[in-house]
Structure 1
Amino acid sequence: MNNETDNDGITKELAKGKFTDTMLANMRALIGTELRTDACLNNEYATRLAILRFCEGIGDDNPLWTDADYAEGGPYGTLVAPPSFIFACLGSVQVGWPGLGGFHAETKMTFGEPIRVGEKITAKVVFDGFDGPIADSNFGGRRIKDYLRQEYRNEDGELKATFICSRMRFERGEMQKRRESRALDVPHPWKDEELAEIERQILAERPRGATPRYWDDVQIGDEIDVITKGPLGLTDFIAFIAAGAAPIPRVSAHSVALKRYHKHPKWAFRDPRTHALEPVYSVHYNDYAAQLQGAQIAYDVGIQRTCWQIHSLTNWMGDAGRLKALTGQYRAHVYLGDVVRLGGRVDAKEVDADGQHVVKLTTWATNQRGQQAMPGTAVVALPRRPAA
């Protein structure tokens, strides 16, 4: 592969850093550091249009977040944002590990009160450290797992959500060597009748809405309604960026981007087909970049998948339900052309430490290959059935 270097230090490959003792020592010294977020902020305010644009970008048209007249009659008396809207304020921040590749590995979240329209949301991000490096793995050679703690508060200091973002860091050269061992038939060769059935299922999906789902009526072993995403197209991936949910740092163009890349050459590469400079983030819409990362073709964003998980849970719990916590592990890549079905099962019912009646769920996201792309868990608070 051509790895010629421009006079600005940018190559036609993604940077290929190595784990070194110096790198590890530098990263240990950063543990506990609050990180700068200015280059990654997208929405400071939960305006009506910011919420709507985000919901369109994840394919969630629940009227509680998108219809002001409907929401006025709901439990909050106004529009609220879906719990995933925090990603539209600040998806995440990059820290250290110069030249290494990275995949989002795991998400852990807790939620406070919903974000109401008009609230100002501020994010605080702290580097909480890392595990490893693990000596070797079949997936991509030596790797580490790092942890960013992200706290989102409104202007009154109320904690709206906490997001523990864990990423796997690896040496891209080692990941590329193993790419062929993970080869798949992508994009998936769908048949017309399969596509028609997928679209029928999607069009039949409905949020529970104003009809309460009572804690009393839920049984252990119940499964939640399945929602389907796909076949995933380039526009689905771009819409997520347009929703303000992903770039770390923000995607930019022309002279703004060029100045950033000259300052940080490892943030970019030169596409050999178009000769344009592209950000590392383009692995999520550029097949060439994705292959340099050791993947097959362009793939989804980890938090994008979590947004779909949240969509499935809020559809099921109804307007009166509250999502309190979730986890998700990102296993298989979700590629362009894939279909993902998200569901879950009730595993327990209890009264929690806050005195709320909650259900605990196991959740999943499976693709058309039968792979479990995101095993997870969730805790949902539900209303009690009124006494007769």
Structure 2
Amino acid sequence: MTTSEKTEEKPKDAPQVYTFRDEDIQRARDLVGVYHAVTQREQFTRATPDVMRNFARSYGDDNPLFVDEEYGLDTRWGGQIAPPMINIGLTKDLLADPVPKEQRRPSFRGIHVFVSGTTTDWYRPVYDGDTLYSFQGFSDVELKESEFAGRSLIVTRSHVQMNQRAEIVQIQKVITIHTERHESKKRNKYKAIEPATYTAEDIAKIDEIYAAEQRRGGQVRYFEDVTVGEDLGTMAKGPLTTTDMVVFHSGGYGFAPYTPSTGRLTYKNRQRIAPFYIDNEQGIPDVAQRIHWDSDYARSIGLPAAYDYGMMRDCWLTHYLTDWMGDDAWLVSMSSQMRKFNYQGDTHTITGEVVGKRVVDDQYLVDVEFRGTSQRGEVTCPATATIALPSRETGLVNLPTAPKEFEVVAAQMLKRHGELRAERRNAAR
């Protein structure tokens, strides 16, 4: 046994400590650029009016284009379409051949994972009846020291989603920070942060922002009418509560394969991914994921309170953009960073401005910079985006073209899915 492999003898009741293994880090690096079918399903697998409506409402979006099955019939889309971030709640499992052992992803079990940013490109809308499939792989793996948690692994994973016709719907790159639990617990830099409290007057000021929010809707926003420096308005989100987290999950955020469960399903999940379950103060195994709604647990690892999901703030950011751009525009891309935690009780205002205009081929594009700012005055989620607007000269926007290499992979994976499904049917006869 080498020095690095030695372990100190611990009391029987000491919490288990999980650390990065060098072989897991190397395997992750070896898998950069290798894509595999997503063989697990999310909470939903097919878009329906109810799924689209409930998902939009889960993060506070009441845009009729997303929540009203009749409204979209009179728009350029010809029907109700799904909100941009529907991918986090809608994926059907793909049938695929077993992944070779040398290409299996390391699990990093027992390691905290934080979403620190995403970049998403959208290529076509999701309609009622569409089924979404996905394949994914590592795009980048970097080992570094983190101020909060010591040794950290920065992993960028690309998620490619396609519909039942093998058409690429969107590509999302998610940057995650993996940290060792025993290290993060030693860091106390966030303990000085006081939980937010509010007076009736404070809530009234937030309500004023909500009351003043405007959605562009069917009033076409033309490219020619937009000016660089133009203010995109202000949107409120918060104060964040446990209820917000419950609604977000019930509305569609499945977080597979760690989907919250209960009863016998939880028992089965504990057998499958035991390190994901950590005893609470009553000695009951509960998900590490409760850090998003259990402030006592969050404080036990050095944070002042429970905090939201990075994906929730991405939903907020797309909500801000789609309200501003109107029904006839198309959200081409968005990049966001999660620089600060958004704790229970925090309130955010989202503001932004136009920073550029350009015409590329047959697309009239507007570039924007925007951000979510907490009541502490901290920008927790800066972002940039590109929006295609209709032009008075050409009329409707043209949708972007998906990368050819991913279209080829999508067609191959869906073809194999069909073959395996046929084999299963024949074997069952």
Q: TM-score of the superposition, structure 1-length normalised? A: 0.90
> 350, 354, 375: which is aligned to 1:346?
354
Instruction: Give, in whole Å, the separation in 2 of the partners of 1:266 and 1:307.
Output: 29
Task: Select the residue among 199, 215, 221 that pairs with 1:207.
Answer: 215
Which sits farther off after the overlay, 313-322 or 246-255?
246-255
Gaps of 5+ in 2: 1-9, 93-104, 395-429
Which residue pairs with 1:28 in the alignment?
Answer: 29
Distance 1:189 1:239 in 2: 22
Corresponding position of 2:366: 359
Contact conserved, 2:216 with 2:323, CA < 8 A, in 1?
yes
Kindly state the Cα deviation for residue 292 of structure 1 after the two structures are TM-superposed.
4.1
- 1:99 Cα deviation after fit: 2.2
* Shift in CA distance, 35/190, structure 1 to aligned 2, threshold 3 Å: farther
One-letter amino acid matched to 1:378: A
Deviation at 1:285, TM superposition (A): 0.9
Letter in 2 for 1:120: T
2:327 maps to 319
CA distance in 1, matches of 2:306, 2:179: 18
Report Cα offsets for 1:21-77 as digits up to 9, x if no partner. 233223334434445644452221111111111011010000111112221111111
- 1:25 and 1:69 map into 2 onto residues whose CA distance is 52
Distance 1:219 1:157 in 2: 38
CA drift of 1:182 comes to 4.6
1:243-264 Cα distance to aligned partner (Å, 9 max, x none): 1224232111111111221232
CA distance in 1, matches of 2:70, 2:385: 30
Query: Does the 8 A contact of 2:292 with 2:306 survive in 1?
Result: yes
* Aligned-partner Cα distance in 1 for 2:336–2:254: 17
Q: 1:32 to 1:386 in 2, by over 3 A?
A: closer
CA distance in 1, matches of 2:57, 2:305: 24
Correspondence for 1:277: 285
Q: CA deviation at 1:100?
A: 1.8
2:215 aligned counterpart, secondary structure: coil
2:277 aligned partner: 268
**Contact preservation (8 Å) 1:361, 1:377:** yes
1:282-303 deviation line (CA, Å, top 9, x unaligned):
1111113323444221110011
With over 3 angstroms needed to count, the CA separation of the structure-2 counterparts of 1:86 and 1:32, relative to structure 1, is same
Say which SS state the counterpart of residue 142 (structure 1) adopts.
Answer: strand
The superposition leaves residues 334-380 of structure 1 with CA deviations (integer Å, 9 ceiling, x where unpaired) of 01111011121111100124x21010111111000011101110000
Contact 1:101–1:293, Cα closer than 8 Å, also in 2: no
Cα contact 1:110–1:326 (8 A) shared by 2: yes
Whether the 8 Å contact between 1:240 and 1:246 is mirrored in structure 2 is no
**Paired residue for 2:391?**
384
Kept after mapping to 2: 8 A contact 1:35/1:127: no
Shift in CA distance, 119/40, structure 1 to aligned 2, threshold 3 Å = closer
Say if 2:58 and 2:248, in contact at 8 Å, map to a contact too. yes
Match of 2:7 in 1: none
Give 1:236 deviation, angstroms: 0.6
Q: Please tell me whether the aligned partners of residues 79 and 117 of structure 1 are also in contact (alpha carbons under 8 angstroms).
A: yes
Give the aligned partner of residue 185 of structure 1: 194
Aligned to 1:165: 174
- AA at the equivalent of 1:105: S
What is the CA deviation profile of residues 115-152 of structure 1, one whole-angstrom value per residue up to 9, with x for unaligned ones? 11211111112123411x21x33222121210111011
Equivalent position of 2:256 in the other structure? 248
Where structure 1 has 5 or more consecutive residues not aligned to the other structure, the ranges are none
Q: Aligned with 2:203: secondary structure?
A: helix
Bigger mean CA deviation after superposition, 173-182 or 336-345 = 173-182
The answer (yes or no) to whether the contact 2:27–2:106 under 8 Å persists in 1 is: no
> Is 1:307 equivalent to 2:315 in the alignment?
yes
C-alpha distance 370-51 of structure 1, shift in aligned 2 (>3 A): same
Match of 2:146 in 1: 137
Question: Do the aligned residues in 1 keep the contact of 2:42 with 2:255 (CA within 8 Å)?
Answer: no
What is the root-mean-square deviation of aligned Cα atoms in Å? Answer: 2.2
Within 5 Å, give how 1:224-243 maps onto structure 2.
224-243=232-251
2:375 to 361, 364, 368: 368
2:81 corresponding residue in structure 1: 80
CA shift, 1:179, in A, is 2.7
Partner letter of residue 239 of structure 1?
Answer: V
Residue equivalent to 1:68 = 69
Q: Which residue of 2 aligns with 1:51?
A: 52
Q: How many residues align?
A: 372
Find the aligned partners of 1:32 and 1:330 in 2 and give their Cα distance.
24
| Greater Rg over alpha carbons, structure | 2
Contact 2:148 2:184 in 1 (8 A): yes
Structure 2 distance, partners of 1:171, 1:374, is 24
- Whether contact under 8 Å (2:88, 2:255) holds in the other structure is no
